[in-house]
Structure 1
C-alpha cells in the first residue's frame, strides 16, 4: 500500500520530503537551531519552547457530547433529476448542477478515542454550501430515531454512556431506560438486529429522520423524508465478524474511507426523498411526523434528487473535521423544515452546543462559513473575519446595512401538530415481523439482546423480558432461551471463542425505507 495513503502525509518526489521554509515562533520570529533544545537554555527567554509548551496545554477543544468519534471528507452534490415540482430550493434544481459539500461520519455514543466497527448507530452529516446559505442534513444509519419527546434526549444519552461511578458501560442502566420508556425500544431492536453493525462508512445508508416540509415556487407544500442510499451496496456484519475486524484494525471504518478516496475510488450516495402531499396528511391512519416510526407502504412515493460524491480527503483533521459545526436548523428557501417538537428543540440545542464547543463565531470558521453572509452581529471570540467593517451594527438603520428579502412562495399557514402520543409497541412488533423475518435473523437478534441483558441485574432482566414478550411472544421466548447461552459465553469469555471468518452480509437497499 502506498505510504502516502496509509499515513496521510503529502507525497514528495524523493520519498523523504523537503523543508517548506524556515521554522518560526507563533509570532513569526525565525527560530535559531539552539532554541530547539532545552540544554543550557534560558527557559523564560525561549519563545519557541513556550510556544510548544502552552500550545500543548491548550490544543484541545470540548469533545462533542454525542458523535464524538468520527472522520470527514469533501465532495459535491450533483442534481440528476428534475424535482422543481416539489421544491424551489436552488440546490436541488437544475440537472447537472454541482454544489460543494463537506461530510462528517461518526458513531453516536463513543468518545473521541473509541473504536470503529461496533454495534452502534452511525451518522452521515452533510453540509451543502448552497447559493442560498448552508444546508445541513444530520442523518443516522437507522431509519427510525429513539424518541419523539425532546425531554428524553438527556436521559437517553446518559443511560447509554458510561456509569458516573464505575465509568464503564452499564447494561443495567441501558435496559432500565428501555423498560421505563418503551417508545425507544423500536430503534433499539433495529440496532440489535442484523442492521446494527455497518461494514464501514462507505457501505452505510443514512436517514435525516424527520419529516421535512418542502415548498415549490407556487407555494405548494409537501412533506418528505430524505434518504442517502449508498451506491457501494449496504453491507452489514455479525458480532463475531466485527470483533475480528476490531482486533485487526480498530480504526477500520476511518482508514477504509480515507484509503478509498486517496486511491480515487470515490464513494457515493443516491439522495432520494419519500413524498406525501400536504393535503394527504389528514387522511393517514398513522402519524407521519413520528421519528420513531416508519412511513407505511402505499402512502408515499419516492423520487431521486441526485448523487452525493466524496472525492477529497481533509488536509488537516482538526481544521477540516473537528471544527465542523452542524445544525439541523441550517435550512434554505424551499425547505422550511420539520414541524415536530423534537426538531424545534434541536434548532436551539445544536446552536448552543456549537457555541460552547467552538465559540459564538463558529459559523465564521472556514469549514462552516457559507458562500454569502451579511449580518448585524459583531465581536466575540475570534474568528471575526472582517467584522462587517463599517456597516451599522443594528437593524433597522438609515445607512448601508443588509436588508431582508420577500419570499412570495413562503407558506401562508403555519403547520400545527395536534396528536396524542401513543406509547405502545406496535412499531417494534411491525419491525420484528417485517424485517426480522427468518430464523437466522431472529436467533442473532435474540443472542444480541441476551448478551446485553446478561450483564444487567436480575430484576432488570425480568422487566426487559416482559417488555419483549409484549412486542412478540416469539421474541420474548427466543431471548429467554438465549440467556443461558449468553451466560455461558460470558463465563468462557468472548476473546477465547474461535472467530469464524464471515463475509459481510449484503442487503437490498429498497426495504430500508419501507
Structure 2
C-alpha cells in the first residue's frame, strides 16, 4: 500500500477494510463475532469515560507561562522562583466543586484553581480555590462534607437540607459560607476571579531558614461576578459558558493573566498569632503580613484534546519541589494523600507519565509495571534500591526543612474554637447592597430546609454578627432564640 495516504487501522495498526458495515452471516444474517474491528470499537467506546472526579468534576484548562517579577530568593530556594525574569511553563485547570461533568458552569459553588508548574526540579502543583478559606479544617470531615454537596442517596436529588444540616453543625464553615453566599460566589468568568493556595505552606531558603507562606493569585482582568438571576439564565442557555469563555479568549489572543502575591509569616509568629495560622477556615491579616509580589501567570495556549489534557490532568498538593513543603494544616495533610490516591484509582498508577502530567525533567525511580505502563518500563535496569548497579540514588540536599512537633498521639481538634469573628468581620466589610444580596441568597437557599436546621444556623449567623442573624431570621420567619451571645 502507498505510504502517502493516512489509512484507518485498528489499535494494533492493522488496516481497516470497512468502517461502515459490520460483518454478518449473509446480507440479512446476524452479526459475526469474528468482526474484531467491530468488537474493538464497541469495547473501547464502553470504556471511553474514566470515572469522573469525585469533586471538581466539571472544568476546563489551559497552558501558559509563569514569570518571576520580584526577587523572593531570600525566602525560598525553589529554582523556578530563583531570579527575576525566569519563566516556567505551566498548566491550569479551573473547575466547580460539587457538580457532575454535565453540570452548569454558573452555579453558586467554589471554583477550583489548580496550577501545575513544569519546573526543572520536577512538577510543582498548587491546588487551590478561588476562595482563601474552606468550609472545614480537618480532612477527616471531608467525605461527609462532600456527601452533603452531592445527591441524596434516596431521592438522587440535590439536598439543601443536608447542606445546611452539616453546615449548622459545623460552625467552622461560617467564614466560607458567608464568602460563598456573597457576591463572589458566582464569578462572571474564570478570567475574572482570584485564585488562592488557601492552605499555609512552608518556604525554605538556601541557608535552611524557613517561613510560613500563603499564595494569592490576583486577576489582572479585575473581579467580575454574576447575580443569581443572570447565573440561572446562563445555566439554562449555555451551561458551558466558563469553558467557552476561556477557550475563545485565548484563541483570539486575549491572554488572561494573574499576578501572584504571597504573605510571609516568620516561623516564630505562628506560636503566638491570634489565630491558628494553619487553620484553613481563617485568613491572615494583610496589615500583619502584607502582600509581596512574586510573578505573573499568563495563559496563552488551549489544549489540543480535552480528554487527554484536561480530563487526564492530575494535580496533587503533595507535588513539591526543593524549597517548598507542607505545613501542619490538618486539611492539607489529608490532601497530601487523597489527591494522588484518587488519580491512581481514576486514571491509573502510571498517571504521572501521561503527557499533561509528565515533568519536563527525567524521571528516575524504581516503580515498575501497573496498568497502562506505556513507556519502556525502565527496561532491564534494577527495580530495587540500594543496588551496586549505578541506579539512581537519593539527593540529600533536597531534604525538606524540619519543624518541631510535640504532644500526645491522639485525635484532637484545633485549640481555637472562634468560628465567628472572621465571618462577622467579612459581613461587616460588605456594603449595604452586598449585605442585601447575601441575605437574599442565604434565605432563598435555606427556605426548603427543616425548621430545626434553620434555627440552628440562624444562631450561628447571630454569633457572627447580630444584624446577620436577625436579618436571616426575619427572611426565614424564624425567631432568634433567647440567650444567643
Q: Could you state the TM-score of these two structures normalised by the residue count of structure 1?
A: 0.86
Aligned match for 1:145, one of 101, 116, 134? 134
Q: Distance in 2 between matches of 1:419 and 1:150?
A: 13
Aligned match for 2:231, one of 234, 242, 254? 242
Cα distance, 1:84 vs. partner?
0.7
Aligned match for 1:442, one of 410, 435, 441? 435
Higher helix proportion: 1
Cα distance, 1:275 vs. partner?
0.9
Partner of 1:26 in structure 2? 11
Structure 1 segments, 4+ long, off by >6 Å, are none
Partner of 1:468 in structure 2? 461
Aligned match for 2:422, one of 407, 419, 427? 427
Note closer, same or farther for the CA distance 1:413–1:169 as it changes in structure 2 (3 Å cut): closer
Aligned match for 1:393, one of 383, 389, 392? 383
For 1:464, what is the secondary structure of its paired residue?
Answer: helix
For 1:363, what is the secondary structure of its paired residue?
Answer: helix
Aligned match for 1:252, one of 241, 254, 257? 241
Partner of 2:395 in structure 1? 405
Number of paired residues? 465
Partner of 2:483 in structure 1? none
1:355-376 CA-to-partner distances (Å, cap 9, x unmatched) read 1101111111121111221001
Q: Distance in 1 between matches of 2:125 and 2:19?
A: 49
Question: Is contact 1:219–1:410 with CA below 8 Å preserved after alignment?
Answer: no
Indicate yes or no: 2:205 matched with 1:216. yes
Q: Distance in 2 between matches of 1:279 and 1:481?
A: 45
Question: Is contact 2:62–2:302 with CA below 8 Å preserved after alignment?
Answer: yes
Cα distance, 1:180 vs. partner?
0.9
Question: Is contact 1:124–1:141 with CA below 8 Å preserved after alignment?
Answer: yes
Q: Distance in 1 between matches of 2:78 and 2:250?
A: 29
Partner of 1:274 in structure 2? 263
Question: Is contact 1:69–1:107 with CA below 8 Å preserved after alignment?
Answer: yes
Provide the alpha-carbon RMSD of the alignment: 2.1
Aligned match for 1:451, one of 427, 431, 444? 444
For 2:309, what is the secondary structure of its paired residue?
Answer: helix
For 2:436, what is the secondary structure of its paired residue?
Answer: helix
Which range moves more in the overlay, 353-362 or 472-481? 472-481
1:303-350 CA-to-partner distances (Å, cap 9, x unmatched) read 111111111111111111111111100000010222222222211111
Question: Is contact 1:24–1:31 with CA below 8 Å preserved after alignment?
Answer: yes
For 1:470, what is the secondary structure of its paired residue?
Answer: helix
Question: Is contact 1:43–1:49 with CA below 8 Å preserved after alignment?
Answer: no
Instruction: Output aligned runs, 1:148-163, within 5 Å.
Output: 148-163=137-152
1:238-280 CA-to-partner distances (Å, cap 9, x unmatched) read 1012123223311110000001111111111111111112233
Partner of 1:507 in structure 2? none
Partner of 1:506 in structure 2? none
- The runs of 5 or more residues in structure 1 that have no matched partner are 1-18, 485-514
For 1:336, what is the secondary structure of its paired residue?
Answer: strand
For 1:481, what is the secondary structure of its paired residue?
Answer: helix
Q: Distance in 1 between matches of 2:270 and 2:5?
A: 61
Indicate yes or no: 2:35 matched with 1:50. no
Q: Distance in 2 between matches of 1:339 and 1:450?
A: 36
Aligned match for 2:369, one of 369, 379, 389? 379
Partner of 1:188 in structure 2? 177
Which range moves more in the overlay, 315-324 or 415-424? 415-424
Question: Is contact 2:317–2:336 with CA below 8 Å preserved after alignment?
Answer: yes
Q: Could you state the TM-score of these two structures normalised by the residue count of structure 2?
A: 0.91
Note closer, same or farther for the CA distance 1:483–1:412 as it changes in structure 2 (3 Å cut): closer
Note closer, same or farther for the CA distance 1:138–1:443 as it changes in structure 2 (3 Å cut): same
Q: Distance in 2 between matches of 1:416 and 1:50?
A: 60
For 1:304, what is the secondary structure of its paired residue?
Answer: strand
Indicate yes or no: 2:48 matched with 1:59. yes
Aligned match for 1:483, one of 476, 480, 484? 476
